[in-house]
Amino acid sequence: MNHKFSFNKKALRRMTDFVLHREEAAEEAPVAAQPALRVYALTDVGKVRAANQDALVVDEGMRLYGVADGMGGHNGGETASAGARDGLLAALAGKEPSMTALQDGIKQVNGDLFRQQAEDERLSGMGTTLSVLWMSEHFAYIGHVGDSRVYLFREDKLEQMTDDHSLVGELVRAGFLTPEQAENHPNKNVILRAVGTEEGIDVDLAVEERRAGDVWMVCSDGLHGMVPDSQMEAILRAHKPENAAKMLLDAALDAGGRDNISVVLLADGEVAG
């Protein structure tokens, strides 16, 4: 299988230095305090759906945060998203953040959900998106499958850090659709990759250096499918994270709330040097 690994140059340099010198640093440096990280997580059923099939991944002890957006009928969608959340937390328990551990954990969750739906016809066809951030002392590790999204708000600019594994997303990347055309495309909800739908899975992985002042956002398509990036950026620019989370959710409801809405905001403080 092919996997996407993404590094910026500074992050790669810091990671290389850490690997080469970690034993020496452990002997000479005092134990650093953990960076401050404020977390604001909200989910809402929306105005149309009968049930909320989103599951928030929030474990402050593990520093693992994200969103799973289930699909496959009432029982299937809720089972898939909750299973992805609980399965990933169990798979990563006691481990240090790394791309290898994150990839292995998501692949393990995928296999478990696939076997579950194969053994229970009531769950046939279930699956879920899964987009998570796993925070180490200096880095944010991203694991992603589906069309939920991870964003980074840095220096007043909002950047999408993940690719949508959707038909419309592929058409945009291939140049057949503009982002503006994609927003109202009739097939915008056709997902090409999800956790639990096939025996094997490709996981997009990335790492980014943490910086004081960053705001990370993980959200389901109930938010980014209803609220343009430009509006989300304006909300994050004008409001503190503790207020912005509710304002983002309210903006999706005001736009129609046609799907479940989930958002996790992480406001990053000073990182230990």
pLDDT, tens only, 58-71: 999 999 999 999 99
Other Cβ atoms within 10 Å of 189 Cβ, number: 15
| Higher per-residue pLDDT: 128 or 181 | 128
Least confident range of 29-33, 113-117, 146-150: 29-33
- On the question of pLDDT at 36 being above 90, the answer is no
pLDDT for 35 equals 66
pLDDT at residue 268 in the model: 95
pLDDT on residue 145: 98
CA distance 232 to 229: 5
At 162-212, the pLDDT tens digits run 999 977 777 777 787 777 666 766 666 778 999 999 999 999 999 999 999
Q: What angle do CA 94, 201, 179 make, to 5 degrees?
A: 105
Contact 168, 103 (CB under 8 A): no
Residue 75 has pLDDT above 60, yes or no: yes
Measured CA angle at 193 (ends 252, 68), to 5 deg: 45
Computed over its alpha carbons, how large is the radius of gyration of the chain? 18
H helices, E strands: number in the chain: 8, 12
Structure tokens at 6: 């993404």
Q: pLDDT at position 227, please?
A: 96
Give the 3-state secondary structure of residue 253: helix
Q: Which residues contact 162 (CB under 8 A, 6 or more apart)?
A: 131, 142, 144, 148, 149, 150, 204, 206
Report the alpha-carbon distance of residue 144 to residue 147 in Å, rounded: 9
pLDDT at residue 1 in the model:
30
Distance from C-alpha of 36 to C-alpha of 62, rounded to nearest angstrom: 14
Mean pLDDT of 138-143: 97
